[in-house]
Structure 1
Amino acid sequence: MAIFSQKKQLLLWIFSSCLLCVTSGKISNDFRSKAVNLGGWLVTEGWIKPSLFDGIVNNDFLDGNPLQFKSVANGKYVSAKSGGGTTLAADQTIVSDRELFRLWRINETTFNFRVFNDRFVGIANAGKQTQVVAVSKTPGEFETFEIVRKPGDSSLVRIKAANGFFIQVNKENVVTADYAGYTTRWTKDDPSVFIVTINGTAHGEYQVTNGYGPEKAPKVMREHWNTFIVEDDFKFIAENGLNAVRIPVGWWIASDPTPPLPYVGGSLKALDNAFLWSQKYGLKVIIDLHAAPGSQNGYEHSSSRDGSLEWGKTDETLQKSVAVIDFLTARYVKNPSFFAIELINEPRAPMVPLETLIKYYKAGYKAVRKQSSKVYVMLSNRLGATDPTELLPLARGLKGSVIDYHSYVLFSTDFKNMTVPQILDFIRTNRSAELNLINKANGPLTFVGEWTAEWEYKGGTKKDYMRFVKTQLKVYKQATMGWAYWTLKNGRVLDPNSGIKAVNLGGWLVTEGWIKPTLFDGIVNKDFLDGTALQFKSVTTGKYLCAEQGGGSIIVANRTSASGWETFRQFVGVDSNGNGIVAVSITPGNSDTFEIVRDSSDKNRVRIKASNGYYLQAKTEEVVTADSQGSNGWGDDDPSVFVMKTTGRLEGEFQVTNGYGPQAAPQVMTV
C-alpha cells in the first residue's frame, strides 16, 4: 500500500535486473515470484491516480474527510463535548479530536457528521431550543445536514438541519438548530456562518464511487478499469524479466455485476481479462484481497468509509471474506496462471487481534483447499505487530501456505535522520534478520509482497536510487517464494513533455523539520518535543510500562515487548484515591504533570517525578506507584529507574515554537 512509486525509467531498470533469472513459468519447488503489483486498478488508491476524483462535485467533501468548524461570530471551534454522547458547543480555541467531524456523504451537498466516539451529530428538542447533539449510533433523518458554501469563498459555510433551520452559536456558545435567516450577507457577526477547515482527505474506492453517485460512478469506474491497465502492460511485464502479477481486489468483486452500493459492477470482468492476458504472456497471478468487509486497517486502500476499522469485530465480516475467497478460488482454479491467493492484505494490530486473524486464516485456507491442493495460500503479517514470526505456529500446519512480509523504508521518522550508507546497512542487517526469523527450517514459504524504490531520504541521486534498489533485491532473494514490487503505475508522475516548471517553497512559512533540521538544534531536550512517542522499560522488572486496555485504567509494568499500549501520548496521572498511576484523564491537569529527570551519564536512563513530589516506581509487574523518594544512584536494582526509548517524533511548527518557548521562539522564527 505504499504511497510512493518511482518513474518508469527506474522501474524498467528494476525489471531489466531480473532478465537473467526468468523462469519457464511452471510452478515447481524452486519457482520464485518476481512480480509487480497492479495497485490502484481494481481497488482505488487516490494517490496513484488523483485525476480519477476530478469530476466529483465538492470533491473536498468526500466520505471520511475530517472537518473543523469555527464560528465567525465568537472565533471558536465547534466541539463534541466528551468526544460525543451529549451536546455540541462552540467554545474551543484549539483543535483536538473532539473538534473533528468525519463526513458521511449522502450527495454532493448533504451529509452526516461522525464524531470522535463514533456517534452521529443530530438535532434534539430541549425546551424552547433545538439543540445540536452527538448521541446517535446510526444516522437517520435528524442526523442529516446540508452544507451551503458561500459563492466565491468555499471556506465559509452554513449548515442546514433537518428541521429546515440553520445551525447557529448562541450567546452561551451552545450550538442550536433554530436560526431562521434564509439569506445572509456572510458577515462576521452572523452566528450561522462558520469557517470550514478540511483536516485530511481519504481517496479510496468508497470515496470515488459514493462521490460520483450511482448515476455517474459506473461510467467513470469502467473507463478507469478499461484504460489504466491494459493488455500491453502484461506484454511489457513479461518482456522485461518478471514472471507474475499481484492484483489487489475488493470484497465487492464477488457480488459483481450488482455489488452493494456505493460500489459498481465491472471489476470482475477486468480481473477475467487479467487472467486471459497472463495466460497469453506466461505470467502467474496472485490475487490479493486488499479490501475486506468493514476495512481491516482503517486506511483508504482497504475502502474504509471514514477511517474506521470494523473487519473482524463480527463473525459476519469474517464469513463474507471467506465467501469472497471461495468465490475467487472456484472461478479461476482451472486457469493455469492462478498461482496464489492472499486471504487479506495488511490487517492492522492491535485492532485486529491475532486470535481473530488466525480464526479467519484457518477458515480461508479451508475454503481454498476445498477447491485446490495446488494454489498457494498467502497469509499477510499484521501491520504494527512487534513479532514478525507470530504466524509461524499457524503456517507450519498449513501445507502450501506462504507468509507475506511487506518491506518499506518509509512511514517512520527513524529513516529521515539516516544517510544513504546507513539506510543500505539497515536493509542488509535489519530487514535481512527479520526475513531470516521467518525463514525457519521446515516452515512456510516467505514472500515480500510489497516493496518500493522510494525512501524517506531526500536529495538522493540516480546512483543512490540504483544502489537502494540493488541492495533490496539482494536481500529479498532470501524470500523463498520471491517478491512483488509496488507498484506498476503512478498517475501522479508528470508527463515529461509538460510545460509546467514549478517549485514548492516548503518549510518556509510552515515548519517541516526534515527540510531544515538545524532549526531545532537550540532546543533543550529536543528529543522531548510535543507528540514524541516514548517507551519506558523498568530496570528491575525488565518489562515495559503499559496502559492497560490502551488507556482508561491503571499503568502496569508487565510487557516483554512494546506495542501501541506501551507508547505514551495520552494523559497519564496520579490516582486521586492514592498513589497509583492511571491513564483516565481526557484533559491534563496538575495531577497529570510529570518531570523527567535524566541520568547525566546516560540520557536514556530516567526517573519520572509526579506532581506529589515522589518518583514513579515499578514495585511489581502489576503495581506502578508514585511514592519513591529516589536515590543518588542509577543502578539496575532501583525500581524508580527506567530505560527510555523514543519510537517516533514530530517536527512541525507546533514543536519548534513550543520547544523554544515564548521567549526564544520569536527570535528563532524571524531570523
Structure 2
Amino acid sequence: MTSKGLIVTGLLFGFLECVLSQSLKVSLPGGLSEKIQGVALGGWLVLEPYITPSLFTVFENATATNTTENVPVDEYTYCQVLGKDECASRLETHWSTFYNETDFQQIKQMGLNLVRIPVGYWAFALLSGDPYVQGQEKYLDQAIEWSRQNDLKVWIDLHGVPGSQNGFDNSGKRGGVDWLKNRTYISTTYGVLDYIFGKYGQANYSDTIVGIELVNEPLGPLLNMTEVENIYYNSYQSAKAKYHVQDTIVLQDAFQWIGYWDSFLSNETSPAVMIDHHHYEVFTVDQLKASIGVHVSNINSFGNSIVQHLANHSAVVGEWSAALTDCVRWLNGVNMGARYDGTFQNDEVIGTCDNITDWKKWTKDQKRHTREFVEVQLDAYNQTSGWIFWCWKTEDTIEWDFKRLVALDLMPQPLSARKYTMDGVISGGLKLGLGWKVYCFMGLLLGLTIGF
C-alpha cells in the first residue's frame, strides 16, 4: 500500500473510532435497555417556591402591606409558620392534586422513559424539633405504580438531608450547609438510605425502579469531600452487601469536575454506579450575558467532556432546562431577585425580566433561541447515558416546564425532530458551536487535505 493509501486508511479508521467512541461507549444502568430520556417530578414531594408559587403567595396576600416579608422560603419554614396540622392539611391537598396518573400517561406519550422523583429525608424520619410533616411515602408508592402501569422507569432521589447538604431551598431548608456538622444528621441520612434500600431496592420493585440517588447536589466546595466520599462508599456497600440491591446507585457529582469520580468504586465486581451531572446556564452573570453561540459551545463542550469518561462509569445529565435567563420569580429563592435584571445582588442589568411567563409577548428571537438551546442540549446529552429534564411541569413557568415547552413547540416532538440544529450545530454557521460528528468529520477532512 502506498504512503497516501496508508494515510487515508489510518484517517478512515480514526474517523470511525471517533464516531464509535461517541455512540458505543455508553453504559446503561441495570433495568434499562435504552438511554435515559426522563423528567423530574420537581416541586411535588419536596416544595420549591418557583415551581408551585401559589402555595407561598397565599402568605403574601394575607399580609397588610402585601409584601414577601412573611412568606416562607422553603418547606421547613412553610410548616414552621403554619404548624403541623395546617401544614399537613395543605400539603395533603397539594400531593393529591399536583400529580395524577394522567401526567404519567402523557410523560410516556411524549417519548420519555423515566421519572426522577425527589423526596426529602423527612418523608421517612423526623428529627426532634423538625416542623416537617409526613405522608409523602404514600404518594411515592403511587407514583411508582403509575410508572409501572405506563412502562416508565423510576429513579428515587434523596433530595434533602438533615441540616441541608447545600443550603438551597430545594433541600428543604435554605441557608446553612450543616449536614456534616452533626453526627445525628449523618446517622439519620444513613438510616433513611437504609430504609430506602430495604424497601425500594428489593425484587418486587426491580421491574420499575432502576436507580437510587444517595444525595442530591452536595455542595462539595463547602463540604469535606472525604466525608462525602465515605458516605457514598458506605451507603453503596450497605445497599449491595446488606440488601443485595440490584438498582444502579447514583452519585451526584457534588459540583466536582467531570472525571473526579472516575476511580471511585471502579474496582467493584458489579459496580452499578452512575454519575449524575447537572448543568444550567443561568446562575452566573457571565452565563446570562452570553450569546446563543456561546451557550451552544458551552453545551457541546460539557457533553463531550462527559463522553470522554463514560468508560469509567455511566453518566447522565440529570438536570437541565430550557432557561436562558434567571427571571422566573423566586427561581433564586423567595425575596431574591434575578441576576438578569440586576435585582439579585445589585448585579449589572443585562436585560428586562418583563413578560418572561407571558408567551404572547415573547419575541421571535426568544422563541428561536430557546428551541435552539433545547435541541443542542438534546444532541449533546444523548451522547451520554441519557438525560433528565428539570422538570415535568410547573404552575406558570415556560423554560422549566417540559409539558408547556412541548405545547409551545419549544421542545421537539418526537424528541428526535429538529428545526434549527443537527448534531449540536445550529444551521447557518459552524461558528455557533460544533457537535461531535462535525469535530470528527473536520478532523478527517483536515487529515485528507494534509495527506494529499
TM range (shorter): 0.5 to 0.7
For 2:228, what is the secondary structure of its paired residue?
A: helix
Give the 5 Å matches for 1:90-239.
203-239=73-109
| Structure 1 position 436 matched with structure 2 position 307 | yes
| Structure 1 position 417 matched with structure 2 position 289 | yes
| Structure 1 position 463 matched with structure 2 position 332 | no
Q: CA deviation at 1:410?
A: 1.4
| Structure 1 position 313 matched with structure 2 position 181 | yes
For 1:393, what is the secondary structure of its paired residue?
A: coil
Bigger share in helix:
2
Distance 1:224 1:393, change over 3 A: same
For 1:312, what is the secondary structure of its paired residue?
A: helix
Distance 1:251 1:431, change over 3 A: same
- Quote the residue 1:474 is aligned against: 379
Kept after mapping to 2: 8 A contact 1:253/1:259: no
Distance 1:453 1:340, change over 3 A: same
- Quote the residue 2:208 is aligned against: 337
| Structure 1 position 404 matched with structure 2 position 254 | no
- Quote the residue 1:253 is aligned against: 123
User: For each residue in 1:555-580, what CA deviation from the matched residue of structure 2 results, as whole angstroms up to 9, or x when unmatched?
Assistant: xxxxxxxxxxxxxxxxxxxxxxxxxx
* Cα distance between partner residues in 2 of 1:57 and 1:409: 30
Amino acid at match of 2:161: A
| Structure 1 position 352 matched with structure 2 position 352 | no
Q: Could you say what the CA RMSD is over the residues aligned between the two structures, in angstroms?
A: 2.7
- Quote the residue 1:31 is aligned against: 34
* Cα distance between partner residues in 1 of 2:377 and 2:366: 17
Kept after mapping to 1: 8 A contact 2:276/2:317: yes
Q: CA deviation at 1:390?
A: 1.8
Q: CA deviation at 1:328?
A: 1.5
Give the 5 Å matches for 1:324-403.
324-332=192-200, 333=202, 334-335=204-205, 336-369=207-240, 370-383=242-255, 385=256, 387-398=257-268, 399-403=271-275
User: For each residue in 1:606-646, what CA deviation from the matched residue of structure 2 results, as whole angstroms up to 9, or x when unmatched?
Assistant: xxxxxxxxxxxxxxxxxxxxxxxxxxxxxxxxxxxxxxxxx
Amino acid at match of 2:35: R
Gapped regions of structure 2 (runs ≥ 5): 1-27, 326-339, 341-350, 352-362, 399-452
- Quote the residue 1:626 is aligned against: none
> Which is higher, the Rg of structure 1 or of structure 2?
1
2:154 to 285, 299, 303: 285
Distance 1:484 1:213, change over 3 A: same
- Quote the residue 1:608 is aligned against: none
User: For each residue in 1:459-503, what CA deviation from the matched residue of structure 2 results, as whole angstroms up to 9, or x when unmatched?
Assistant: 6432222211111011101222x1110001111349xxxxxxxxx
* Cα distance between partner residues in 1 of 2:224 and 2:93: 39
Higher relative contact order (CA 8 A, sep 6+): 2
Kept after mapping to 1: 8 A contact 2:57/2:71: no
Q: CA deviation at 1:29?
A: 6.8
- Quote the residue 1:619 is aligned against: none
Gapped regions of structure 1 (runs ≥ 5): 1-24, 61-151, 156-196, 495-671
Distance 1:55 1:465, change over 3 A: closer
Distance 1:220 1:420, change over 3 A: same
Give the 5 Å matches for 1:490-529.
490-493=394-397
For 2:118, what is the secondary structure of its paired residue?
A: strand
Identity %: 31
* Cα distance between partner residues in 1 of 2:183 and 2:382: 38
* Cα distance between partner residues in 2 of 1:469 and 1:328: 34
Amino acid at match of 2:306: L
* Cα distance between partner residues in 2 of 1:153 and 1:485: 38
Kept after mapping to 2: 8 A contact 1:448/1:476: yes
* Cα distance between partner residues in 2 of 1:26 and 1:288: 15
User: For each residue in 1:257-301, what CA deviation from the matched residue of structure 2 results, as whole angstroms up to 9, or x when unmatched?
Assistant: x99631112101110101110111111110001001110001111
* Cα distance between partner residues in 1 of 2:162 and 2:45: 15
- Quote the residue 2:190 is aligned against: 322
TM-score (norm 1): 0.46
Amino acid at match of 1:448: V
Kept after mapping to 1: 8 A contact 2:233/2:265: no
TM-score (norm 2): 0.67
Amino acid at match of 1:357: V
User: For each residue in 1:424-455, what CA deviation from the matched residue of structure 2 results, as whole angstroms up to 9, or x when unmatched?
Assistant: 12212x2124313432x2x1110111011111
Kept after mapping to 2: 8 A contact 1:326/1:368: yes
